[in-house]
Amino acid sequence: MLRFDKTGLAMGHSIQESSQMESKNEPSPNVTVVLETLLDSARALSNEPALSHALVSINQIPALEAKIRRQEAQEEVAKSVRQQALDDYATQRDNWKAEKQQFQTRVETLEKFLLREKSKVESLEANGGQQSRRISSLEESLAKSNLNEQSSQKKTQGLIKAIESERQKCRTLGEDLRQTTTNAAQAHSEKDEIQKAYEKAQKQANWYELQLETAASLTVPVVDDATYTSPQTKTFWATYEQKSGLSDVLPLPQSNSEAAIQVRCVAISAYLARIFVRDLLQPTYFLPSESNIRGLLTRQAYDNPAKATAFRASLQALLPEAQEKAIDERTKVACNTIATLTNGLLPGNEDMQYRSQLQSLAEEASQVWRAICCFTDTIEPRFDTRRHENWSDGEYVFEEKQFHIRDQGWINTDTADEPIVAVFPRLYAIYEGVSVLENSGVFLMRTQAKASQDELEKVPLTARVGRAHSKQQRAKAQRRSASMSRDQASAASRSFLVPRSGYD
């Protein structure tokens, strides 16, 4: 490089001198020398590695400039991308901040909502406790209310209350039973004793029935011929009068006159109706006679006839299968009771046919009454003989050797013939404790029984067998029956419904 610098200076100096000479228009003496020096310098420089490297580097400058420009462009692009990424990140960060703020706001809203809901739940729980206490108070008040003072809508509530009360009693009985049956051996022994007692009672009942049949066969002659019309003994008619239970209102002569036969036929029909009312048209009993629950329900139904429908519905709903069995048993009891009164009045073949028809009638009556028991209001049969204005009853008349029911039509209660006995009962509906007549009854009038009354009065009292009643006694009993109030008539109709041991 020093050589290059010196040569350069020499060349500069020579060029300067040449210039001066040319400016003087004088030939340069050292031109040749300068040229030779220049040639030598050029040769020397061409052999220098640094110069070659410099020339190569000079040739690479455009490429480097292009590379630098490309790098600058790439840096500009990268810078632009970076700036765009920073802008996007800033935008996304702002969005995240906004979403975070929204989420925080929503969380706060949800927390407030949860607090409100929690307060509502606490309020509802408090209200639930109040409602529970109120329900308990209402149940206690309902348990103390009286069905006789409630409206038709409250009858249902009273029924529910009565059922709940009975359930409570049953639960109490169940608890007592669980306490008293801790010893299994003792419980089993008691069960065996009860079974033995029941079998003994059943055998005793069968023995009583056998005694009754034996006594009936010994005291009541059997008629084998339908045309046999000889008068029966006075003992037979006295027994008949006592069995019918109608001697207080019906004159029953102990003869075979046409009037006596007619009155006895009326007595049989009236007795049949009363037995049906007593054994079939009453609350159906699902437990045997020794059941305390059955007795309680029966007494309640008797004490208040308006409750009869409710108790019938309760009994039918409790044990329907036992109800069916009880209905069958009571149907047989009713038929046997009626057949006891008519035993000996028909020949053997007609008596069997009569018993079969009686069984069919009892079953049909039981089915019809079971449907009536489902009514909302109580339907009560009554054998009262009071006259009702603007009401037409039926009259039991004997025409062409047969009994018929004839409509009396609208009659004047002041001048009409007086009924002596109700053969078939009227039906009353009980609406909120008030009795409403729904169906007509069938009655035997006093004029129809006049012939038998006259015949009975002709017989001296000392010659009568069985219960004797004077004309004044009969008139007094009939006036008492005609002037009965509603409650008295209901009690009189229930005189045939007194529970009998073993059946009611």
What is the DSSP pairing of strand 394-399 with strand 442-445? Answer: parallel
Q: What is the pLDDT of residue 44?
A: 76
- What angle, rounded to 10 degrees, do the helices at 258-279 and 348-372 form? 40
pTM, whole model, 2 decimals?
0.44
CA distances from 479 to 422, 473, 482 (A): 14, 10, 5
Name the average pLDDT for the chain. 71
Phi and psi based region of residue 378 (left: phi greater than 0; alpha: psi -120 to 50; beta: remaining): beta
Both structure tokens of 471: 């004309």
Per-residue model confidence as pLDDT tens digits over 388-443: 777 777 887 777 777 778 776 655 555 567 888 888 888 888 777 778 888 888 88
Q: What is the pLDDT of residue 267?
A: 84
Q: What is the pLDDT of residue 125?
A: 85
Give 287's pLDDT tier (boundaries 50, 70, 90): low
- Which residue has better confidence, 331 or 316? 331
Exposed e or buried b per residue across 422-459, where buried means at least 16 C-beta atoms within 10 angstroms of its C-beta: bbbbbbbbbeeeebeeeebbbbbbeebbebbbebbeee
Q: What is the pLDDT of residue 142?
A: 76
Question: Three-class SS of residue 423?
Answer: strand
Tell me: pLDDT of 143 over 70: yes
Give 207's pLDDT tier (boundaries 50, 70, 90): low
Percentage of residues in the chain with pLDDT exceeding 70?
Answer: 59
Give 450's pLDDT tier (boundaries 50, 70, 90): confident
Of 218-232, 280-294, 332-346, the poorest mean pLDDT is in: 218-232
Per-residue model confidence as pLDDT tens digits over 102-118: 999 989 999 999 898 88
What is the C-alpha separation between 170 and 168, in angstroms, rounded? 5
Over range 275-291, report the average pLDDT.
65
Both structure tokens of 459: 């017989």
Tell me: pLDDT of 152 over 70: no
What is the C-alpha separation between 281 and 373, in angstroms, rounded? 9
Tell me: pLDDT of 253 over 60: yes
- Which residue has better confidence, 272 or 401? 272
Phi and psi based region of residue 466 (left: phi greater than 0; alpha: psi -120 to 50; beta: remaining): left
CA distances from 345 to 214, 234, 333, 485 (A): 17, 14, 20, 37
Tell me: pLDDT of 171 over 60: yes
- Which residue has better confidence, 286 or 372? 372
Highest-confidence segment of 101-105, 488-492, 498-502: 101-105
